Amino acid sequence: MTKVAKEAPGEDAATRIQDLIRPVIESFGAAGGRQPLTASPQYKKYLAAEEELRGFDPVLLESREQRLTFWINIYNVTAIDRKACDIGGAIYSLDDIEYGILRSNARRPYRPWRHLRIWDRRRRLSPDPPEPRVCFALARPGSGLSPRFYECGTMESQLHKAAVDFLSSGGVVIDPEKQTILLAPLLRDCAADFGGGQGLMSFIAAHLESTDDAAFVYSRAGRVDIRFQK
């Protein structure tokens, strides 16, 4: 008889929590973000997920993909109607999750120091190596990005789609006649995650749906006026 591999305790708990928040994220996204979380028919499941989170230790998540899916989903469900959440008895703000964990303790814009202090134990929770495309997966307040649910097994394709969708829906505006490229402010804030300006432009060119736009970025690299949208 073939034995079915059992999930580790941490993975099993994380799966259970995400099963509770998935319908919350999906129903909110389907409503176009026009209804508060408390008006969602899935609100009771969110409350149940909150209860489970208070007793969950995220250090139990071992694989990079598990950590990515867990923290992206926790961020997105928290951003719907909260500013912070309690996980294992510790309070995590949206910035703690984004900059401290998902972006491997990055600096927030216009701040010279990294988000989490050197003694903060939450630093060990980051996916390793960090994933720069998470910037397209997080439904930040005011970003225009709708919350999506992410899952192990399809993470790569989901992140790719999130990047392509963002860039093609106004994230990058190319004007060949004026020799300009306009980038969304989000790309300025996350440029360091892609290795700086050159790395960011290479990433953009590789993820543009229009082959003409991609060819323009490749051929005119360093010779066009790159600006950021207001």
**Residue 2 counted as domain residue:** no
Specify the residue for token string 């790159």. Answer: 226
Q: For 20-50, how does the pLDDT look when each residue is reduced to its tens digit (9 = 90+)?
A: 999 988 887 766 556 677 777 788 888 999 9
* Mean pLDDT rounded to a whole number for the chain: 86
Question: pLDDT-derived band of residue 5, with 50, 70 and 90 as boundaries?
Answer: very low
Q: For 109-134, how does the pLDDT look when each residue is reduced to its tens digit (9 = 90+)?
A: 777 778 888 888 888 899 999 999 99
d(CA 131, CA 209): 21
**Beta bridge pairs of residue 180:** 175, 225
Last residue of a domain, one of 91, 116, 150: 150
* Total tally of structural domains belonging to the chain: 2
Identify which of 35, 229, 53, 56 has the alpha carbon closest to the alpha carbon of residue 147: 35
**Residue 105 counted as domain residue:** yes
Shared-domain flag, residues 58 and 98: yes
Torsion 184-169-156-207 (CA) sign = negative
**Residue 85 counted as domain residue:** yes
pTM attached to this predicted model = 0.89
Shared-domain flag, residues 79 and 189: no
Q: Which domain holds residue 184?
A: 160-228
Q: Residue 3's pLDDT is what?
A: 43
Shared-domain flag, residues 139 and 51: yes
Shared-domain flag, residues 89 and 17: yes
Shared-domain flag, residues 220 and 114: no
Last residue of a domain, one of 122, 150, 178: 150
Structure tokens at 9: 């305790």
8 three-state secondary structure:
coil
Q: Residue 9's pLDDT is what?
A: 56
Contact 172, 132 (CB under 8 A): no
pLDDT beyond 60 at 105: yes
Structure tokens at 209: 């749906």
Shared-domain flag, residues 99 and 144: yes
Contact 151, 18 (CB under 8 A): yes
Identify which of 156, 161, 130 has the alpha carbon closest to the alpha carbon of residue 145: 161
**Residue 42 counted as domain residue:** yes
**Residue 3 counted as domain residue:** no
